[in-house]
A = this chain, B = another copy of it.
């Protein structure tokens, strides 16, 4: 199955699970739940939950068992977007072709909606329904994994250095730090969580960790490239916004061609990490290829 078809198929189930597990849009107080739904349901490929699912499948687990946890990773991703877009941070007006959360609901509600999504994610990750088929220790490890990835020594650390680096000359090490921490850590944690929830062996987990690290960095390099050569209509956001903000990017430091090659190499490496896996890891292989072929 191609990555496109696999992602589309998963997306139906993920979107249904989001609506099932999230407090309804009309729940009191309405404005916060409307804002949470607005940003969560604004589109998106659901790559992170799909990686949780694909990693689980690669080691013999299944989609339904890990679904609440998979959904939680999309909530986490959405929270980072809402807070990133705030005027005090990236100050973006458009996200996935629609006004950003603070443009639609005001800054106070956007801050709280981000907080609520992060909190709701941990609520879902520790939900007793998961314990029916996943050992409590595995669930705790996966939840801990996610908290480590998202904290000040992970994604938030990357965001801070990204902010501090705006408008300054940047060295390759700092750029790699930003990309790995700000973007790569969540992808890697999704892959590792899916494996942990499905009781992967130590060697499986080690291989998947490497896989996750490689595709995470590749994803951000392609994101940088699409910000220059992408189609605004397809991307649903302004092109050239990194340039406008004087953000550090791979093409900015290495040029387009070398950046594209680096991403291709990373994806090749990531697929080689899966050599000892059977065809149940095919979705992971396809997703890796999709990461560098995507145009959106």
Query: A residues touching B (Cβ–Cβ < 8 Å)?
Result: 23, 27-29, 31-33, 36, 79, 83, 86, 88-89, 106-109, 111-112, 114-116, 118-120, 122-123, 126-128, 131, 135-137, 139-141, 143-144, 147-148, 150-153, 156-157, 159-161, 163-164
Determine the main DSSP class of A at the interface with B.
helix
In the assembled complex, the Cα of A39 lies from the Cα of B151 at a distance in Å of: 17
Contact A120 B147 (CB under 8 A): yes
A107: B residues at CB distance < 8 A: 88
A27: B residues at CB distance < 8 A: 152-153
In the assembled complex, 17 residue pairs joining A and B whose CB atoms fall closer than 8 Å, in A order, are A28-B157, A83-B112, A83-B115, A111-B111, A114-B115, A118-B118, A119-B147, A119-B151, A120-B147, A126-B143, A126-B144, A126-B147, A127-B144, A128-B140, A131-B137, A131-B140, A139-B140
A86: B residues at CB distance < 8 A: 111
In the assembled complex, the Cα of A262 lies from the Cα of B141 at a distance in Å of: 44
Contact B126 A140 (CB under 8 A): yes
In the assembled complex, the Cα of A144 lies from the Cα of B136 at a distance in Å of: 12
In the assembled complex, the Cα of A151 lies from the Cα of B121 at a distance in Å of: 10
Question: Nearest residue in B to A110 (C-beta to C-beta)?
Answer: B88
Evaluate whether A119 and B156 lie within 8 angstroms (CB atoms) in the complex, with A83-B111, A126-B143, A127-B144 already known. Answer: yes
A152: B residues at CB distance < 8 A: 23, 27, 29, 32-33, 36, 116, 119-120
A88: B residues at CB distance < 8 A: 106-108, 111
Contact A29 B120 (CB under 8 A): no
Contact B140 A31 (CB under 8 A): no
A32: B residues at CB distance < 8 A: 152, 156-157, 160
A136: B residues at CB distance < 8 A: 135-137, 139-140
A112: B residues at CB distance < 8 A: 83, 89, 156, 159-160
Evaluate whether A128 and B116 lie within 8 angstroms (CB atoms) in the complex, with A136-B136, A152-B33 already known. Answer: no
A36: B residues at CB distance < 8 A: 152
